[in-house]
Amino acid sequence: MDVVTLDLSNQRLTGEISVPGDKSISHRAVMLGAIAEGTTQIEGFLDGEDCLRTIEIFQQLGVEIVRENQSVTVVSPGIANWKTPKSALYAGNSGTTARLLTGILAGSSITTILTGDDSLSKRPMNRVIEPLRAMGASISSAITQNYLPLSIEGVQLNPIDYKMPVASAQVKSAILFAGLSIDGETVVIEKVHSRDHTERMLEQFGATIERRGNRVTVIGNKKLTGTNVHVPGDISSAAFLMVGAAITKGSSITIKNIGLNATRTGILDVLFRMGADVTVHNVEDLNGEPYGHVDISNAPLTAIEIGGDIIPTLIDELPIIALLATQATGTTIIKDASELRVKETDRIMAVTTELKKLGANIEATSDGMIINGPTPLLGGTLSSHGDHRLGMMAAIASLISSKKVEIENASCIAISYPSFFDDLKKLAISSDLKG
Ligand code: SPQ
């Protein structure tokens, strides 16, 4: 098992950095580039493990994809001309790949088998299979309860008006992608807005999309054409460095060109409400996605309550927000976040287990966590549980731990942030401010 040992106890973070491209947008750019006919040029692509699995899958379907670092060229004959793959499609650890692809393949003209790693094979696929079956999809699972591996036979689907039982961009996107193949209107109704990169990018590729309140409608059977996509930096990756700066005495950093889509910026609201010194500037818009720079410095932090509609806008940031809360004065309550239990690992269980090892005062609840702070953190050996976001949380904890932190199974960080340790080292400088 790979172990990384960090002793950042006498370091603070300063300087400017750009983080790698947004994972959600990178997946969608390859997927839409493959569905569309013609050439799609993607700049700022995230070369993380999850997005590489998405590329490999479309290459198996006969789409020409050439990657040179963060530049990706997709040349596709269009979804109607995809080839039946010779072997199963492997989504690795990536829930986004598996769920969005299930929607795309359900309305294609090929038959495929979709597999994943151990973690992904335990994550619920029923949430996409149920609505897709209601649209007429032919999907069967080798295992009961609809987990991977899945066998998907592409068929002609029917439109649906689907009320989402959980806030999930993956479910919404799977249905919208399936709707592209249908001569008619496919409608998704959300109680709470989840990230909307799919809707924004569908428009860029020429799809007809209508958005009214909580209703998204795709009018299918329209030819999509390849285009250029510029991927902004991933705010979910930046969140680790932002929290590192917020909790470490004497820190002050700028993260440049990160995505600022309002369906993703809950972490900025939380940092601001807790009292961190945060400024957003140079905001611009590219390909329908806002992005800009964020300055963040250490300041005294106060506990807050985090729940309700903000949760989908910061769902992937909750592990690092839990660490942030250990340094805030008072009781931070995180609620309405039971979705954390079905991520790469049960993130409520994993975060509370690992932060307790460092001495944090944190308890799990059925749908969140209760954290009392501020608490000095000790060093120790933490497990990533094979979850990239847990691994990065442990690394950032090292900045405020009195002794070294060992992270077991740290290589999983490459799933979303391959240059994480290099970037952290670039920003970390020795501090004489800490005693
Ligand atoms: O792709 P995967 O494995 O599901 O990744 C995670 C992550 O932490 O990177 C979740 F574990 O992000 C999801 C996110 O939680 C990515 C995503 C997307 O790109 O559509 C949406 C969110 O999931 P959900 O359940 O809201 O659909």
On average, the pLDDT of the chain sits at 97
Quick one: pLDDT band at residue 434, thresholds 50, 70, 90?
very low
Higher pLDDT, 19 or 143: 19
Q: Give 270's Cβ-side CA count (13 Å radius).
A: 31
pLDDT in tens, 23-69: 999 999 999 999 999 999 999 999 999 999 999 999 999 999 999 99
For residue 435, the model assigns a pLDDT of: 38
**Ligand 1, atom nearest to 170 Cα:** 27
264 lines ligand 1 (CB under 6 A): no
Cβ atoms of 106 and 152 within 8 Å: the answer is: yes
Q: What is the mean pLDDT of residues 312-322?
A: 99
The DSSP symbol for 56 reads H
Cβ atoms of 102 and 174 within 8 Å: the answer is: yes
pLDDT in tens, 229-246: 999 999 999 999 999 999
Cα 96 to averaged position of ligand 1 atoms, centre (Å): 6
Q: Is the pLDDT of residue 329 over 50?
A: yes
Quick one: pLDDT band at residue 206, thresholds 50, 70, 90?
very high
For residue 145, the model assigns a pLDDT of: 72
pLDDT in tens, 236-295: 999 999 999 999 999 999 999 999 999 999 999 999 999 999 999 999 999 999 999 999
**Ligand 1, atom nearest to 23 Cα:** 19
For residue 115, the model assigns a pLDDT of: 97
Catalytic residue among 22, 50, 196, 316: 316
For residue 1, the model assigns a pLDDT of: 64
Residue nearest atom 24 of ligand 1, based on CA coordinates? 168
User: Which residues does residue 297 pair with via DSSP β-bridges, in sequence order?
Assistant: 252, 277
Among residues 262, 303, 263, 302, the alpha carbon closest in space to that of 280 is found at: 262
pLDDT in tens, 74-89: 999 999 999 999 999 9
Cα 343 to averaged position of ligand 1 atoms, centre (Å): 7
Among 175, 338, 343, 412, name the best residue to mutate to test ligand 1's pocket (greatest count of ligand atoms within 8 A of Cβ).
343
User: To which H or E segment does residue 207 belong?
Assistant: none
Q: Is the pLDDT of residue 225 over 80?
A: yes
Quick one: pLDDT band at residue 431, thresholds 50, 70, 90?
confident
For residue 146, the model assigns a pLDDT of: 86
What is the per-residue burial (b if ≥16 Cβ within 10 Å, else e) of 336-353?
A: bbebbebbbbbbbebbbb
User: What residues have CB less than 8 Å from 333, skipping those under 6 apart?
Assistant: 305, 306, 307, 368, 370
DSSP 3-state of 205? coil
Backbone angles phi, psi at 164, to 5 degrees: -75, 125
Residue nearest atom 14 of ligand 1, based on CA coordinates? 316
* Helix locations, 192-306, DSSP H: 197-204, 235-247, 266-274
Q: Is the pLDDT of residue 2 over 90?
A: yes
For residue 378, the model assigns a pLDDT of: 96
Q: What is the mean pLDDT of residues 165-173?
A: 97
CA gap 398, 354 in Å, rounded = 12
Residue 117 annotated among the catalytic residues of the structure: no
For residue 364, the model assigns a pLDDT of: 98
Among 57, 93, 96, name the best residue to mutate to test ligand 1's pocket (greatest count of ligand atoms within 8 A of Cβ).
96
* Helix locations, 248-333, DSSP H: 266-274, 318-325
Residue nearest atom 15 of ligand 1, based on CA coordinates? 316
**Ligand 1, atom nearest to 316 Cα:** 8
Q: Is the pLDDT of residue 432 over 70?
A: no
CA gap 339, 395 in Å, rounded = 24
Supply 55's token pair.
Answer: 């590329």
pLDDT in tens, 337-356: 999 999 999 999 999 999 99
The angle that helices 235-247 and 388-397 make with each other, rounded to 10 degrees, is: 20
